[in-house]
A and B are shown apart, each in its own frame.
Chain A
Amino acid sequence: MPPVLELRGITKSFPGVLANDAIDLSLEKGKILALLGENGAGKTTLMNILYGLYKPDKGQILINGQEVVIHGPSDAIARGIGMVHQHFMLIPVMTATENVMLGVESIRNGIFLDKAKVAKRIQEISKQYDLEVDPQAYIGDLPVGSQQRVEIIKVLYRQADILILDEPTAVLTPQEVEGLFKVLRSLVASGKSIIFITHKLKEVLAIADQIIVLRSGRVVGSVDTKSASQEKLAAMMVGRAVNLVVKKKPASPKDVVLSVKDLFVRDERQNLTVNGASFDVRAGEVLGIAGVQGNGQTELVYALTGLSPLVSGEICIMDKPVHHTSPRNILERGVAHIPEDRQKHGLILTFPVQDNLVLCTYYQPPFAKGLALQQKIILETAEKLVEQYDVRTPNIFVPVSTLSGGNQQKVIVAREFSRPIHLLIASQPTRGLDVGSIEYIHSRIVEKRDEGTAVLLVSPELDEIIALSDRIAVMYKGQIVGILPAARINKAYLGLLMAGVKPSEALETTPATIQEAEVERVF
């Protein structure tokens, strides 16, 4: 029997880039094929070709052994190809039913939408594949995990046999990822075939049958999951051996740089989300704040960086209190901020790379003289930073929005690290990045620590916290429930604290596990 899907010699070039270079792959029925590669390796381009969004320059697409030409998404849908996009293609102000039926509407009495019929079919699909969704719910009210289920139902509703999932886990919590994997397994069990695009090694090994690794638009390897290992895959992806463990010397903490006492902060909806948090960060150490997302970490960082006012409590940076202090004033004291949402708070997406690189300092000499910007100096500085921080960009004049996520993050890191800083506040610094970029940013953070900068690291990724931190504070419901030296905890204990178990009880349940930390990072 021929494979369900076969690509032969797919080539696609964009001005200046060869995005796909003679790519071959084949997908067997009832299997999960993982397409692994760093950001910008050409995974998404390839899948957009398959889905008819791009036209290939060369190459053939065969479905069930027959050559087909796909002119657009409707062609792809008609041939049983469905795609779950990385950024969901859902309309927030419409219900799940309306979103699912869009484009293939059921009609009653000749003209009216038959929502009841579609809702019923959605419930059938829900039941069959264990995809729990309320057909009447508005998409905007649903959590990300449910939105993704609607996306999958949308594809199944169109009777797709080949499902393409583009970075499906990037936006999910670990529990939601588990749920997704269960669904994927039940899908292949019922005869569907799946292409799973990702850059996360751990997930590939957990779910895929076959792995194809892309690098710079080329297939660099096709391996069976059984014979694959994280190190091997990482090396294939990046093109060199990758350090999966962060190397660092013991910290030598000095004076307190940031001190927080009894801090209370409200979120946008006026709920108190930080409830009396207290902690100190010293020069030359990394304090990691661990916690399940939504326990006040975001608001804590907002308060520390002046983005939102504090209700009560005290924040001192370099012994000076922060109260109704503007973000600019705070960063002028030597605070660097790597924000959680780099596209919203970290960059001005439509501005060129060079302007984004001087966003914190453009108004000061040497970048400004009186009212005039010194374009020449900005340009030279930007060129230097791009070089020094290895930002991959065609030039420094393109809008920063055209860069990949990893390179956008490097722009922020370059900007923040290139000025004299005493305190670094890094919120999810490697969110959505590939292995190479993660390795790079982690080593830079450790480097800053060794130079004597105080580092506050906030991340829901436990592995990242454990790998980088010297001390770990666990945040639960807006409070710091415990601060422990990193050398003395392990994951099980941290996990209990994060779930709201009291430190004393947590100790009892894991008595034997308080030992040397396994300083190991798994992607």
Chain B
Amino acid sequence: MTTNLAQNNQKKSTPRTRLVSGIVLIIAGLAIVLLFGRNIQPGLQSTFGLTPQGDSNVIPIPDLVLPAQPAIYVLALVTIFLGAWQLARGIRSTNLLVGLVAFCYVAAFLVWAAMGRSMDLVGMMNTSLVRATPIALAALCGVVSERAAVVNIGIEGIMLLSAMTSVMLASLTHNLYLGLLAGMLTGMFVAALHAILVIQFRVDQIISGVAVNIVGAGASSFISNRYLQISNTLNNSGVFPNLAIPGLVKIPILGPVLFENNIMVYLMLILVAVTFVVLFYTRWGLRTRAVGEHPKAADTLGINVYMMRYVNVILGGMVAGMGGAYFTIGSVGRFDKLMTAGKGFIGLAAMIFGNWNPIGALGSSLIFGFADSLQIKMQILSIPIPTEFLQMAPYIVTIVVLAGLVGRVHTPAADGTPYIKQ
């Protein structure tokens, strides 16, 4: 599958595009100097914390201290060098190029923001992962159902409803696991409804998805206003505690980022891995992909197209339900109306950016999560950019990423089209 992915992502670069992109890169490198490199007092340092403060679990390692001005100049030079290399020889992988340049920009920005201060880099990476969790679960729901060619844009609505039901049941029973189960069952039921509408009755998949979103937002807001905001017994569940994995948590950097989270983050990571293996290495996955690419071919080989689609959409709904539950019982312990704030849609963007591949979806969710955690950090560091702009970061990243992606990913060929058996 990786080869397939590469095939789709690498376009032949013509001499002209090489020339243009090379020049753009050199300008981008100069822009780094202009944006971040001006008016820096020489000798100012940026400190990045690599060991969380007050965390006794981790083997401590020294902080990363960079002289601000030289570091920014080096990053600018790397970008300019990449541009020159592109002009002279050409770089084969556009993805690699874009990735490297994006890295240079983000690094330069961080050095600039942390100038003369200390920034908890490990903490920020951990926040990225935590913030990416609901996005990744939403994306995974998208992958599972769209690989079988059913578009589910109702993920946002599903997550809202699940967030609500999970906190209610968890508050009532004082059992977070029952809350999680309630969230997943809610997701399952709503997805099943969507599946029946679009598979059995061939309702337009977008319309059905929009309906799910409207119902999800409306119903959860109503119930929240009417009951949850008043009654504490229904809307006070507590959250899953962080669970340090013995041994692994001691690893510097990796430990505090990966192995000291609550159970839902681990569940998400496991689900991503399992979905990847199932999708590409098992019978179920092969059939799912076949149904999403060419349902008629699958049908002529005796595969039950409808059954495959139903099960995938419903399983996807359970995953999205888990993502919804994360907002309440995995994060703040109470429900507020519209608290998912578009994460379901960002999840769909992550799915597309990840080329309908679970690992890719996780990777792009992490980018969105990083944008989110960066924005939080910047507010704390009170850098001279208005908060409102900083809060836009994840959404701006979404737009930029999707705009740059046109024609570079492979959508399942039958995605969004109902199958009509003769």
Contacts and interface: CB of A to CB of B under 8 A. Distances in A.
A111 B299 CA distance: 22
A102 B303 contact: yes
A412 to B, nearest CB: 26
A138 B4 contact: yes
B282 A91 contact: no
A514 interface: no
A90 B298 CA distance: 9
A73 interface: yes
A506 interface: no
Interface in B287-310: 287, 289-290, 293-294, 296-303
Nearest to A78: B302
A111 B281 CA distance: 8
B422 A102 contact: no
A201 B407 CA distance: 44
B286 interface: yes
Interface string A76-105: 010000010100011111100010011111
A441 interface: no
A93 B293 contact: yes
Nearest to A100: B301
B410 interface: yes
A103 B14 contact: no
Contacts of A499: none
B414 to A, nearest CB: 10
A98 B293 CA distance: 13
- From A73, A90, A91, A112, name the one whose CB has the most chain B CB atoms within 10 angstroms: A91
B297 A113 contact: no
- Name A's interface SS: loop
Contact of A98 (B282, B286, B302): B286
Interface in B1-17: 4, 7, 12, 14
Interface in B373-422: 410, 413, 422
A93 B297 contact: no
Contacts of B290: 91, 94, 102
A103 B298 contact: yes
Given A107-B283, A113-B286, A89 B301 contact: yes
Nearest to B299: A73
Contacts of B422: 48, 53-54
B283 A105 contact: yes
B286 A102 contact: yes
Interface string B1-39: 000100100001010000000000000000000000000
A89 B298 CA distance: 8
B305 to A, nearest CB: 11
Contact of B297 (A54, A90, A107): A90
A112 B4 contact: no
B286 A105 contact: yes
A103 B302 contact: yes
A77 B301 CA distance: 8
Nearest to B301: A103
B38 to A, nearest CB: 42
Contacts of A91: 289-290, 293-294, 297
Contacts of B287: 102-103
A91 B296 CA distance: 10
Contacts of B296: 89
Nearest to B281: A112
A85 B294 contact: no
A227 interface: no
Contact of A93 (B298, B301, B410): B410
Nearest to A140: B7
Contacts of A73: 299-302
B15 to A, nearest CB: 10
B293 A94 contact: yes
Contacts of A269: 12
A496 B386 CA distance: 75
A191 to B, nearest CB: 24
A407 B281 CA distance: 45
Interface residues of A, number: 29
A513 interface: no
A85 B298 CA distance: 13
A270 interface: yes
B297 A89 contact: yes
Nearest to A53: B422
A72 B302 contact: yes
A437 to B, nearest CB: 25
Contacts of B12: 269
Given A54-B422, A94-B290, A74 B302 contact: yes
Given A51-B300, A77-B302, A102-B303, A112 B294 contact: no
Contacts of B7: 138
Contacts of A48: 422
A83 B300 contact: yes
Interface string A22-54: 000000000000000000000000001001011
Nearest to B4: A93
Interface string B173-210: 00000000000000000000000000000000000000
B4 A85 contact: no
Contacts of B303: 102-103
A225 B108 CA distance: 80
Contacts of B286: 98, 101-102, 105, 113
Contacts of A103: 287, 298, 301-303
Contacts of A83: 300
Contacts of A270: 14
B289 A94 contact: yes
Interface in A256-271: 269-270
Which of B293, B300, B303 has most chain A Cβ within 10 Å? Answer: B300
A138 B4 CA distance: 9
A53 B281 contact: no
Interface in B263-283: 281-283
B283 to A, nearest CB: 4
Contacts of A107: 283
A74 B298 CA distance: 11
A138 to B, nearest CB: 7
Nearest to A77: B302
A74 B283 CA distance: 17
A449 B14 CA distance: 44
Nearest to B422: A53
A94 B300 CA distance: 17
A399 B300 CA distance: 25
Contacts of B297: 89-91, 102
Contacts of A101: 286
Contacts of B300: 51, 53, 73, 83, 85, 89
Contacts of A85: 300
Which of B14, B294, B299 has the most chain A CB atoms closer than 10 A to its own CB?
B294
A36 to B, nearest CB: 24
Contacts of B281: 112-113
B146 to A, nearest CB: 14
B229 to A, nearest CB: 47
B298 A102 contact: yes
B135 to A, nearest CB: 26
A75 to B, nearest CB: 8
B274 to A, nearest CB: 11
Interface string A435-455: 000000000000000000000
A89 B282 contact: no
Nearest to B410: A93
Interface of A: 48, 51, 53-54, 72-74, 77, 83, 85, 89-94, 98, 101-105, 107, 111-113, 138, 269-270
Interface of B: 4, 7, 12, 14, 281-283, 286-287, 289-290, 293-294, 296-303, 410, 413, 422
9 contacts: A53-B300, A54-B422, A73-B299, A77-B301, A89-B297, A90-B294, A94-B290, A112-B282, A113-B283
> Which 7 A/B pairs are nearest by Cβ-Cβ distance?
A74-B302, A103-B301, A89-B297, A105-B283, A91-B293, A73-B302, A91-B294
Given A48-B422, A72-B302, A111-B283, 5 more contacts: A89-B300, A91-B297, A93-B410, A105-B286, A107-B283
